[in-house]
A and B are shown apart, each in its own frame.
Chain A
Amino acid sequence: MRPYLSLLIPTVAVLITAGCQSSVAPDKPFKNDLLKKTTGPAVVGDRIEFAYAIGTVEGDLKNVKAEASLAGAAGTGFSRFSWYTERSTGVDKPQQTATDTITNGTVSTASILDVATNKAVTLRYYYYPTADAKGKDVSFRFSATSSTGAEVSFQSPVYRVSNMDMKRTIVLGDGAKAYVSLADMTAYTKAEVEQNNLAGKIDFVYVYRPTINTYAFGHALVAPSNSDYLKDVTLPTGLAKPRTAIDKRVDVKDAQLRGTAGFDVYIDDIDLQKTTFANAADYAYGLAVDQGAFVKTADGAYTAYVYVNAVNNTAKTMTVSIKRLKLN
């Protein structure tokens, strides 16, 4: 026998023995873990989603608790449902695993159902930031107890709540709700602007023209300062003519403004703080779905991103969603 075989055989034997271990005993009988599912910024009007997982090999799961450092808005708390992926279709399906989901101030609790079989569950916890939380840090302490009296806990990192405001699904209509105020994040009709004395608050006007001078024009946002593209529009009496800077984008598909998953692109505070408008136009035309424009008010008070959710050439409407940051 060659000498190296005398070394090789025992090594292989050790590897085989170690590699055939059928299972490894858990170091702790009751464990928990946390995953923040939301990848976008924490914006008022949207939620942050966590997946809190617990499992025990001793006794039964009893209840869970989440303590937020700042109280959340309505909707904050545990969901009663866990999710699993159906093997035949690949579709995620909910299954109720918790009950008594209660949120009282900063504390949310839930009790686990069917404890005889639910030895390990993952619960969803949703947190809706309040307007008071804007610009503040928030963190969460998740904990769970078992029937044996054991407790586990998980402290989340600190998350900064965005200073942005967000408003979704604002329907603009050519010749109707065409006058948009970023201060109000609202679209008004000509009559509403005149009756409510809003002439000083309008930052841009929505118009739809299939063509201008035989060239394609389409759906457009135009600052009141631009007489070229508003020359056939009778503006509200007393409307100020601010030169709102409007810078078109075609590739900023903000997932929160879009309102659908699948696009992990987000406008965050820093984008609205840092975007520059040197020589920017006072209009954006040819707007289509998923496109948009960075907008800065003439007085420099607000920067916003206006995202186009839908356009309708027949109805001459455009549905937009807006993220806005107050600068001063």
Chain B
Amino acid sequence: MKKSILFNYMSLLAMVGLLSCGNDPIDDSGLLITSRAQCYVTAFDLLGSDHRTVLVSGQTKIDTTALTVLAVARFGTNMQRVKPFCSVVTDAIVEPNMGVWTDFTQAQKYTIVSGNRQVRKTYTVTVTLQQ
């Protein structure tokens, strides 16, 4: 009886050990590649040189079908030096990276890549300035 309990315990331990050694795939940035195929933007923000948002509240429209983001920056914003940020669905990534000073006098394109890295959707982000 004692032997049987010990055997079961050791088997369980071995199984946990084997599972924990699973070699989950990661991408070039060291991020986990998962099974998620969802691929969309959930939020967008734009910061000025003072690291405060320049967007007019409630004016940002994200269209996950047309793959567009439309936003309005406050009067006086220096559109040549703003820093974009966004939120995306779980495990997805953005290419190229946001969070760098960017010239938004023209619309910018960002590609969202799903968690499984199989689905890619390119969004066009257009920010207009209050005149």
Contact = CB atoms under 8 A, between A and B. Distances in A.
Contact of A286 (B76, B81, B101): B76
A270 interface: no
Interface string A258-297: 0000000000000000000011110101100001000000
Q: Report, as a range, how many residues of chain B touch the other chain.
A: 10 to 19
A281 B49 contact: yes
Contacts of B101: 278-279
Given A278-B81, A281-B81, A249 B75 contact: no
Contact of A281 (B74, B75, B78, B103): B78
A281 B78 CA distance: 6
Contact of B81 (A212, A250, A279): A279
A251 interface: yes
Contact of B130 (A215, A279, A280, A285): A215
Contact of A279 (B52, B75, B80, B131): B80
B2 interface: no
A213 interface: yes
Given A278-B101, A279-B101, A248 B81 contact: no
Interface of B: 48-52, 74-76, 78, 80-81, 101, 103, 130-131
Nearest 7 pairs of A and B residues by beta carbon: A215-B75, A281-B78, A279-B80, A279-B81, A250-B50, A248-B50, A247-B49
Interface of A: 212-213, 215-217, 247-251, 278-281, 283, 285-286, 291
28 contacts: A212-B76, A213-B75, A213-B130, A215-B74, A215-B75, A215-B130, A216-B75, A217-B75, A247-B49, A247-B81, A248-B49, A248-B50, A249-B49, A250-B51, A251-B50, A251-B51, A278-B81, A279-B80, A279-B81, A279-B103, A280-B49, A280-B81, A281-B49, A281-B78, A281-B80, A283-B76, A285-B76, A286-B76
